[in-house]
Amino acid sequence: MRMIRAIGLIAMVAVVMIWPPAAWAQASRNLPELDQAIAKYNNGDVSGALAMAEKVLTHFPDDENALYRSALFNFQLNNLDAARGRLERLVKLSGSYFSAWELMVQVTQAQGDLARRDEAIDRLKLAIKTAVDPDIRVKSDFIRERIRAGDQDVMVADYFTRGGSDFTRYQFLVGDPRTMPDRGLLLRTDANTTANWADTALMPPDSQLFHLDMIDPKPEGGDRVAIYAYFVGEPTYDVVRAKVMEILRGEAQPLSGEPGSLQGIMKRK
């Protein structure tokens, strides 16, 4: 990720503003300086917001709220090592802090430390299971990654609790995917497609077919669907991500349908 310009803050600002109080419930104290830092952040002054969070930490080095916000602001400024350091300190102080583990997944993905990323995912799921707060305990998804594309973030929702014959596993979308669940790039499976492939002997019996689709709304109504890949059995996130990156760079064409809105988005100015 790189330095975020003002327009690129829109998705992250939305996440900060819509997070329920439970996301900050584990903060150790309520300091006006941290509220001012968030105000600066929401106005696009990430460096100023970071300076205020760091000032708090000079007086209260173990303040969980300040540690989290410092990590968030450092992440937005592409200070990955600094963000990681704040998060490692935070999760030692509070190992069940859901938002900290969610951000840790994103930071370690950006660093390429996939082993620590996978550990963070496991700890995130444990934080959900053991949460006292009911809003955290019912979570069924998390934002796994933010992929920089020009002035925008392609956000990745991981719907880790879903299963059965018809469901979406991953969703890639500019903005918060959870507000538009049937848009963007979706790794999903459905019983009809699985049955059709099984009937034509294209895959072994008792296997499940997944497909990577780009879904865009048509001006006249309805959806435009482009299919980019098929997978026999559920693929790993890293396999899916590799294909998605080809699409975002404009290096992959759909197997059927017209190229979708995210194709080549990384090449646009």
* pTM for the structure as a whole: 0.86
The answer to the question of residue 25 being in a domain is: yes
Q: Which of 36, 63, 32, 29 is nearest to 51 (CA)?
A: 36
* 128: three-class secondary structure by DSSP: helix
Please determine, for residue 24, whether its predicted confidence score (pLDDT) is greater than 60.
no
User: What DSSP line would sit under 72-97, residue for residue?
Assistant: HHHHHTT-HHHHHHHHHHHHHH-TT-
Look at the chain and report how many structural domains it folds into.
2
Q: Which of 89, 123, 127 is nearest to 105 (CA)?
A: 123
Domain end among 107, 139, 171: 139
> What CATH number corresponds to the domain at position 123?
1.25.40.10
* 204: three-class secondary structure by DSSP: coil
Residue 192, token pair as written in the block: 């009809």
- Phi, psi (5° rounding) for residue 177? -60, -30
Domain of residue 200 covers 147-267
Q: What is the pLDDT of residue 30?
A: 58
Q: What is the pLDDT of residue 202?
A: 76
Establish how many alpha carbons lie within 13 A of residue 56's alpha carbon, considering only the half-sphere containing its beta carbon: 25
DSSP one-letter code for 68: H
Average pLDDT over residues 45-52: 96
Residues 6+ apart with CB under 8 A from 54: 70
Q: What is the pLDDT of residue 29?
A: 60
Report pLDDT digits (tens) over 87-106: 999 999 998 999 999 999 99
Domain end among 86, 106, 139: 139
Same domain, residue pair 173 and 102: no
Please determine, for residue 14, whether its predicted confidence score (pLDDT) is greater than 50.
no
Domain end among 85, 112, 139: 139
Report pLDDT digits (tens) over 216-266: 999 998 999 999 999 999 999 999 999 999 999 999 999 999 999 999 999
Model confidence at 11, pLDDT cuts 50, 70, 90, reads very low
Q: What is the mean pLDDT of the chain?
A: 88
- Range with the lowest mean pLDDT among 44-53, 201-210, 223-232, 240-249? 201-210
